[in-house]
Amino acid sequence: MQNRILIRSALAIVIIVLFYFALNFYNTLNNPINTNGNQSVNKPLPIPTLLEPFKTDESSSDYDIKVQKGTTNFIGDMQTPTMGYNGSFLGPVIKVTRGQEIRMHVSNELQVDTSVHWHGLEVEGSKDGGPHQVISAGSLWQPSFTIDQPAATLWFHPHVIGTTATQVYYGLAGLIIVEDENSKSLNLPDDYGVNDIPLIIQDRSFNRNGSFRYDNNMMDGVVGDYIMVNGAITPYLDVKQTKMRFRILNGANASNFNLRLSDGNFHQIASDGGLLEKPLLTRTLFISPGERAEIIIDFSKYKEGDKIRLVSDNDLVMTFNVGAEMIDNTVLPEVLTTIEKLDINQVTAIKTIELDGMGHMVTLNGRKFDINRIDDNVSLGATEIWEISSTRGMMMSSPGHPFHIHGTQFQVLSRNGGEPRENEKGWKDTVFVRTGETVRIIVQFKYKGIFMYHCHILEHEEEGMMGQLEVE
């Protein structure tokens, strides 16, 4: 009897010890890294490469895009499993010109379905890259289209039902730069990688083993512990005393960024769909998921050795290290472009869009998304006014929802009956609607097909805050 008791006690001790080590091992792998310590070493800002066409002539270009898995170093010597376009994380920049025919050759080298949505590009529904254009594992998608919209900074990312949020989180995002005759004539900073720099701002959390920690709080989407720019945590960029152009994308799943410089102001010159009519001098830039903005920072007003921080509220985004003086032949014109206003007298319908809820409870106009249901029918060429409102779900902490329409650009008419902000008076494809607010937009539908409209908090989109319209 005594031997049995001793054996049972010994077994109990072994089980407790094994459980303790197993728990510690699990915690080591899966607990988030303590963000209070200096876990990251300041690294130089990575500059995405320009993707060269593999075939081109005066009127058309062909591009190869590979959707891939990989590993990327973000913290210490750890390697993080990631996804990217033509690389391990994020993607290249594709620069195109208005009037060009573009042929994309997208190969899916993942083991799961994906799609590539050209966010902000005005194209037919069948070429938009939404959830109806799924690219199955191992297959090739080859859409072609002619660029017919003003110079702008657009982007591309997955839009497949069920995995959009995680695929973007793991790294699938890239930029498209559209140029036109007007933008080329302005003598703005436009030497890519020198005085014309993309800033893809996102946030991520990490497990102790270096893997991404995708922690959906079921309310307001996934918010990360670290802010990253172009795939680097709080990087630095060495700059000369000259004007610099930055093309900013909020590529986060759910986080808003309220950007400012630690010293001084800057000019915003463009919003989602292109140039503003004139530069806007400002100290801050609020940008929600999916939105883009182009800004000019004039570093000639600083001296060599200055360190200028870009921050979001109190969080460091990146640092600019100011270097020597240099000759600057670029200009900041008083007038950037002329924006033709959509004609309210041509409006054929006024529609209401209500964004409501949190987590699994989100809806658009009281319904969850159904890919087999068309929520709205629009005539080709029609101009409509949409009144978009955001209501607060119980326990919801988000200040509102970024609202995006596929395949078109729109203009903001008002916020709660008042004038929109100055930087919203250009072309837009994504607009932030604060809780309790109604934003009125005017939009024209110039291409046939089925298009999505949805909240660009990716977890809200996937939980059903999305509808689809058919233009015919």
Measured distance CA(161)–CA(371) in Å, rounded: 9
Q: Is the CB of residue 60 less than 8 Å from the CB of residue 101? A: yes
Measured distance CA(162)–CA(381) in Å, rounded: 32
Nearest Cα to Cα of residue 312 among 248, 220, 247, 358: 248
How many degrees, rounded to 5, is the angle at CA 231 between CA 227 and CA 234?
Answer: 40
Measured distance CA(365)–CA(377) in Å, rounded: 15
Q: What is the mean pLDDT of each run of 10 residues along the chain (472 residues)?
A: 47 41 42 46 92 94 98 95 98 98 98 98 98 98 98 98 97 98 98 98 96 83 96 97 98 97 97 98 98 98 97 96 97 97 97 87 94 98 97 65 98 96 97 96 98 97 96 97
Residues with Cβ within 8 Å of 282's Cβ and at least 6 positions away in sequence, in order, are 265, 266, 267, 268, 423
Residues with Cβ within 8 Å of 393's Cβ and at least 6 positions away in sequence, in order, are 356, 357, 358, 359, 361, 362
How many angstroms separate the Cα of 445 from the Cα of each of 252, 298, 347, 380, 448?
27, 38, 11, 6, 8
Q: Identify the pLDDT of residue 38.
A: 41
- What domains sit in the chain, N to C, each tagged with a CATH number? 55-178 (2.60.40.420), 196-325 (2.60.40.420), 344-471 (2.60.40.420)
DSSP conformational letter for 304? T
> Does pTM top 0.85 for this prediction?
yes
Measured distance between the N- and C-terminal CA atoms of the chain, rounded to whole angstroms: 85
Q: Identify the pLDDT of residue 393.
A: 54
Q: Identify the pLDDT of residue 397.
A: 57
